[in-house]
Amino acid sequence: MDELDPVIHAAARLKITASLATLAAGDRIAFARLQELLGMTAGNLSTHLRKLEDAGYVEAVKTHQGRTPVTWLALTRTGRRAFEDYMEALRGLLGESV
């Protein structure tokens, strides 16, 4: 299973990456909304997002809406490609043609 990217392969990071991959290129989602969709604690989500950010797979942009801080999240081009490669490798392991 060396073909599977270890950054993405962790269950929580796979869920995060798969969720972000459903967004169109250039779209983003608020941290709180992603947390709600995935049912993760803020701390757990933050920890896994940090690993994805460190790998260059996720971009986090911190802004404010009024006085409320908002963190917007999106896959980078590198992250989208890594997820596509991960899915291709997984299909290969399962014996499916790509």
The full set of domains in the chain, from first to last, is 6-93 (1.10.10.10)
Rounded distance between C-alpha atoms, residue 82 and residue 79, angstroms:
5
pLDDT of residue 2: 64
pLDDT of residue 58: 98
Q: Residue 3's pLDDT band (boundaries 50, 70, 90)?
A: confident
SS3 label, residue 74: strand
Q: What is the mean pLDDT of residues 44-66?
A: 97
Sign of the alpha-carbon torsion through 85, 10, 29, 56: negative
Rounded distance between C-alpha atoms, residue 88 and residue 84, angstroms:
6
Rounded distance between C-alpha atoms, residue 8 and residue 30, angstroms:
20
**Is 70 exceeded by the pLDDT of residue 81?**
yes
The structure's pTM equals 0.90
**Is 90 exceeded by the pLDDT of residue 42?**
yes
What are the distances in angstroms from CA 20 to CA 63, 86, 92?
Answer: 19, 14, 23
